[in-house]
Every structure is written in C-alpha cells, then in structure tokens.
Amino acid sequence: MFWQQFRNRGRNILQAQAASEGDFSARCTCWIIRSVEKKSLPTKANREIQKLEQEVRLLILNVAKEHSRGSSSEHDDCIKTKHNGLLRSIVNSARHCPASFRGSAEDYIVDNCKSIYFAGHETTAVTVTWCLMLLATHPAWQDRARAEALEVCRGGTELDVDVLRRLKTITMVIQETLRLYPPGSLIMREALKDFKLGGLDIPRGTIIQIAIAMLHLDKDVWGQDAGEFRPDRFANGAAAACEPSHMYLPFGHGPRICAGQNLAMMELKVVLVRLLSKFAFAPSPGYRHAPLFRLTVEPGFGMPLVVTKLP
C-alpha cells in the first residue's frame, strides 16, 4: 500500500531527492566537525539544498494529504481501516507523535516517509545493480549462483523465508557486494559529550562521519585481497568474516542498525533468483567503472550489461 500511494508521484520525489543528495554528498566530504553551523551559512549550495529539501517535503505532504482525503475512515485507528497500509499508519501515528520527537506532525510524516521511501528503495536497487556487475565480471560465481537459483526454482517452489535462508551462495554474493559497494557510503553520529578518540579531543556536539567503504577495504582487517570480489569470505556468515565483526557494517551497527536489513536481504535474494534463473549477464564494452559516492554508492556512468535470455 505504501508504494501504491506513492506510485504516481514517486519519480518526481526521487528526482528531487537525488538532486538534493548530490549537492549534500559533495559537501559531506569536506565536513569534519560542527556541520550545523556550516549548514546555516547562506551559501549558494546551501540555498539550493534547502530549496530541494522543501520540494521533497511538499511532494510527500501532498501525497499524504491526498491519501487522507481519499480515506473512508480517516479518523479511525489504522488497524480498523479496510487497508492497513504503511502510509496510513504513518499518517495516523503523526496525530500522536511520541514525546521524544522534536517536531510537528508534518515533520513526523516527512521524516518517516523519506526514511522508508529512499532508504528502502534506492539502496536495494543500487545493490542489485552492483551484484549483477560483479557476477557479469566473475562468470564462475555467476554460474554457481545460477545453479543455486535454478535448484530452488525447480518445480515451481515458492520463495518463502525458509527457502531464502538456504541460499548460501547467493547470500555470500550479496554480502560481498555490500562490502565492496555498501549502499550507504557513510554514517554520521553526534557526540553527546566531550570525549577523547585516540589522540583527538572530540567536543560535545561534534558530527562524526564514518566512511563505511574505507572500513570495508581495510587490508589489516580483510587481507591483501580486500579490493577483490571473493564471496567465500562469508562462508561462515557475516559475523565471522572479519575481526572485529563491526568492521563490516553495510546496515550500520549497534542500536541504530538498519531496521529493514532482513527485508532488504530477502528482497535482494528474490530479485537475484528471478534474474539469474532467466538471464545471463556479461560486461558491456561501453561500461566505465566509476563508483560515485553520494549518499549511496552509484555507478557514475550507469551500468550497461549484455543480457542474454536463457533457453
């Protein structure tokens, strides 16, 4: 239901958000501490970002308002309505924002919709893209993954949770793809008090950036072949792939780990099983390898592949 409500406006929202992310990410690489002050400066880049963020906000609120007007039981609890959709749940919850939320009901709707719409859509799609590129350039692994996909699809087997859990090769391929091309290029945390990090004094309020891609390519952790595609690193699971285990964090780590990581893994497995069981992928001569580090790690010049339908 969430995606149905956003279907007609989705492209406009994504385009506006992508432009905002592009400007924001370019400046993120220059931010080290106290980004709040820098974001407040009346620069051209800041004005452009504020304009784009306002555009995204209005697009989301318009969809939410149209949804509310079209609801036959707008003031009922979401569990009592005919369609227990995610968007409806967000709109209803906004009427009773938790005390810990610092903002208006509209802020609550926009923040939650952005988190679900962008984090739950673009990150999964770009990971599938990188998976296909890596399998196209590593045909032996593509053959192994396809054999597993064909095995589970045999006899029209339904891809339920139990079947997806048994996909060891495809799971390793996804985990290694997430290591080399994490969907989020960085995460940020704010220091809640003064502390020391190594030899650095970190004052309260400092915004700390963690470059996930750099952690995932650290040769002291992953070995001299850290930059190579080797899914069997994850033969014993993600927790045993490196030491310490929190050096692998495509979904973050700790209490603020991605709430949708299990759903994302299931989506990735289903998409790869369907694609690999029907098509073969090979590199395109026109492909230019240029990962673009925005809020997600995207192919800078697209991802052209030679796709062949299997007999």
pLDDT tens-digit profile of 100-136? 677 888 888 888 887 777 666 678 899 999 999 999 9
- Token duo for residue 146: 């396809």
pLDDT tens digit string along 77-98?
434 444 457 788 888 888 777 7
Element (H, E) at 251: none
Which of the residues are catalytic? 123, 251, 258
What are the strands, taking DSSP E only, across the chain? 186-190, 195-197, 200-202, 207-211, 279-283, 291-293, 297-299, 305-309
The pLDDT of residue 2 is 52
The pLDDT of residue 277 is 96
Question: To the nearest whole percent, how much of the chain has pLDDT over 70?
Answer: 80
Q: Helix or strand or coil: residue 191?
A: coil
Q: Is 242 annotated as a binding residue?
A: no
Checking if the pLDDT of 22 tops 60, the result is no
Question: To the nearest whole percent, how much of the chain has pLDDT over 90?
Answer: 45
What superfamily in CATH does domain 122-280 come from? Cytochrome P450 (1.10.630.10)
Distances (CA, A) of 196 to 32, 101, 193, 206: 16, 29, 10, 12
Burial class (CB in 10 A: 0-12, 13-18, 19+), 30: exposed
The pLDDT of residue 8 is 52
d(CA 57, CA 20): 12
Q: What mean pLDDT comes out for the span 233-258?
A: 91
Checking if the pLDDT of 57 tops 50, the result is yes
Instruction: Tell me the pTM.
Output: 0.76
pLDDT tens digit string along 246-263?
999 999 888 888 888 998
The pLDDT of residue 154 is 84
Rounded to 5 degrees, what angle do the CA atoms 29, 32, 38 make?
A: 90
The pLDDT of residue 185 is 82
d(CA 78, CA 1): 13
Which single residue is written with the structure tokens 């770009």? 126
Checking if the pLDDT of 195 tops 80, the result is yes
Which residue type is seen at 53?
Answer: E
- Token duo for residue 283: 């590199």
Mean pLDDT of the chain: 82
* DSSP, residue by residue, 266-311: HHHHHHHHHHHTTEEEEE-TT----EEESSSEEEBTB--EEEEE--
Residue 271: φ, ψ to 5°? -60, -45
Element (H, E) at 53: helix 44-70
Which residues sit opposite 197 in a β-bridge? 200
User: Quick check: 2 and 85 in contact, CB under 8 A?
Assistant: yes
d(CA 217, CA 231): 14
Where exactly are the structural domains of the chain? 2-119, 122-280
* DSSP letter assigned to residue 199: T
- Token duo for residue 177: 């793809």
For residues 202 and 22, the model is more confident at 202
Q: How many CB atoms lie within 10 A of CB 59?
A: 21
Quickly state the pLDDT bin for 43 (edges 50, 70, 90): confident
The pLDDT of residue 158 is 86
The pLDDT of residue 7 is 52
Q: Which residues contact 220 (CB under 8 A, 6 or more apart)?
A: none
Q: How many CB atoms lie within 10 A of CB 181?
A: 23
* DSSP letter assigned to residue 160: -
Quickly state the pLDDT bin for 39 (edges 50, 70, 90): low
The pLDDT of residue 70 is 62
User: Quick check: 161 and 115 in contact, CB under 8 A?
Assistant: no
